[in-house]
Amino acid sequence: MLKFKPERLSASNRTDRSLLENQLKSAIWYSTQFKSFEWDPSSYNTAGMFDLLLTNEDIEPTKRLRLAYNILKDVPAYYDAAQNNIKTPTKEHTELAVPQLKGATSTLKALSDFRKKHNNGDLSTEEQAEFDKRLDKATDAVDKYSKWLSKKLESKKTEWRSFRIGKPLFDSKFTYDIQSGYSASEIYLKALNEKQELHRKMAGITTQLWKKYFPDIAQPTDDLKAIKMMIDRLSMRHVSRDSLIIAIRQQLPTLVNFIKDKNIVYLDPSKPLEVRETPEYMRGVAGASISSPGVFEKSRPTYYNVTPLDEYTEEQAESYLREYNHYMLQILNIHEAIPGHYIQLIYSNQSPSLVKSIFGNGAMIEGWACYTERMMLEEGYGATEQPEMWLMYYKWNLRIACNTILDYSVHTLDMSKEQALDLLTKEAFQQQTEAAEKWQRCQLTQVQLCSYYTGLTEIYDFRQSQKKKLGSAFNLKAFHEQFLSYGSAPVPEIKKMMEEEQK
């Protein structure tokens, strides 16, 4: 029995409570229903944890060394437990686990160097010897687990579980992970409609632009073919490989001015945003990301990480730059920075709630960033470059709609690999490599690919309903600021609180 009435809590506390409740229910569901610990061998890997110890400069090295020393002792038991837990694994997760376990071995090697470098008398001579002994045993344990999995892969008798989780599990996982007002199948149907609608709009723009870019070529009667040609043509406009970071840096003041002029949202000028090269240890996949200050480090600037293309061949760089062409780069900046992730996270940090900061809702965070892309264009951003900008935006938007269709179809409707690749390359205009990676990701994850589209749809629909309800009293800036003021809460919670305050 509850000793208090939840409805009498403040709005912020009520959201916290509902986030915690979802967190607990979800934890129970994961351990009693989803049970990926029985079928996902890649979920057992000590690399991430030791990597954190090796790289976290906020903690003194001697302290980290001591922590590593203590943790190492339990590594063999950990991998034994892993082997015991795995019942019927999926082949795909097993294939992922084996190469990833090499990472576990290399972090153990790095720990050995770390001990030699940082042991300033904190560990005694005996402890140092013991440290090395523990390292050896840990390495053997990783080896043993990895070999056990390899054997399963080699054997023809191994019984595999399908990587497709099926509708009941998918629906529940969607409920817990996304926390949406829509069900998984509702969102799937919305995404299917959106795809048709986007194709229609893209075909319209393509026809409108055709003569400008292809004066000597007749427009193909096949719409999808014509759109693809137009996208390829527009993608040729891009910055040079050395000026990617500079271009991003130069773009930001334009965005800041635009949101001020158009009264889109207040931006606290005391919260700096720094564009920097992605630090070595975070590189891997090329691209851009935002590192926002954590809950306990509010004074640190927000970093906009951009991975330089140094390591790319001419061909790879060209392909990347075409993807992030002149138009797309601006949409990316809106998404990552202004008024996307950077601004949302500033507001989120102002909402003084550890609960929201730690259990922030992914669909709300990504949904907001995706929402701002459309909203900025609607408000007239890039007016001199339209309709080209819209066409590129639609391609971007099509990607998240198709991610949702893919995820749902693969896990609940048995979509084949061939159908999946067709969807991505023919209907979402993706390159073969991008599509192949997406197929891979879809086999290994569930629901996450739906979060962008679900968040966007929910925020956009809510704004439209507010516009309708409030009529001339609707104010975009006020809507945005109130929406963001609750922190990274699930969109249905934010809706409830905003509607209540309007009563």
Judged by the rule CB under 5 A, the positions of this chain that interact with Zn ion are 366, 369
Q: In the complex with Zn ion, which residue's Cβ is closer, 369 or 424?
A: 369
Amino acid identity at 130: E
- Least Å from the CB of residue 293 to Zn ion: 17
Secondary structure of 446-478 as H, E, C letters = CCHHHHHHHHHHHHHHHHHHHHHHHHHHCCHHH
- Least Å from the CB of residue 318 to Zn ion: 5
Which three-class secondary structure state does DSSP give residue 289?
strand
- Cβ(354)–Cβ(295) below 8 Å: yes
Q: In the complex with Zn ion, which residue's Cβ is closer, 115 or 480?
A: 480
Q: In the complex with Zn ion, which residue's Cβ is closer, 76 or 487?
A: 487
Q: What's the Cα-to-Cα distance from 403 to each of 187, 396, 473, rounded to whole Å?
A: 12, 11, 36
Q: In the complex with Zn ion, which residue's Cβ is closer, 364 or 369?
A: 369
- Cβ(286)–Cβ(307) below 8 Å: yes
- Least Å from the CB of residue 304 to Zn ion: 12
Q: In the complex with Zn ion, which residue's Cβ is closer, 259 or 369?
A: 369
- Least Å from the CB of residue 99 to Zn ion: 27
Q: In the complex with Zn ion, which residue's Cβ is closer, 16 or 366?
A: 366
Q: In the complex with Zn ion, which residue's Cβ is closer, 400 or 405?
A: 400
| Position of minimal CB gap to Zn ion | 369
- Least Å from the CB of residue 272 to Zn ion: 20
Q: In the complex with Zn ion, which residue's Cβ is closer, 95 or 366?
A: 366
CA torsion angle 162 164 168 170 (round to 10): 140
Cα–Cα dist 399/403, whole Å: 6
Cα–Cα dist 300/141, whole Å: 40
Cα–Cα dist 461/464, whole Å: 5
Q: How many CB atoms lie within 10 A of CB 351?
A: 18
- Least Å from the CB of residue 341 to Zn ion: 6
- Least Å from the CB of residue 481 to Zn ion: 20
Q: What's the Cα-to-Cα distance from 217 to each of 208, 213, 386, 388, 422, rounded to whole Å?
A: 14, 9, 22, 19, 26
Tell me the two tokens of residue 110: 């790095």
Question: 320 Cβ partners below 8 Å, 6+ apart?
Answer: 286, 309, 312
Cα–Cα dist 458/85, whole Å: 38
Q: In the complex with Zn ion, which residue's Cβ is closer, 131 or 324?
A: 324
- Least Å from the CB of residue 360 to Zn ion: 13
Cα–Cα dist 196/291, whole Å: 35
- Least Å from the CB of residue 369 to Zn ion: 4
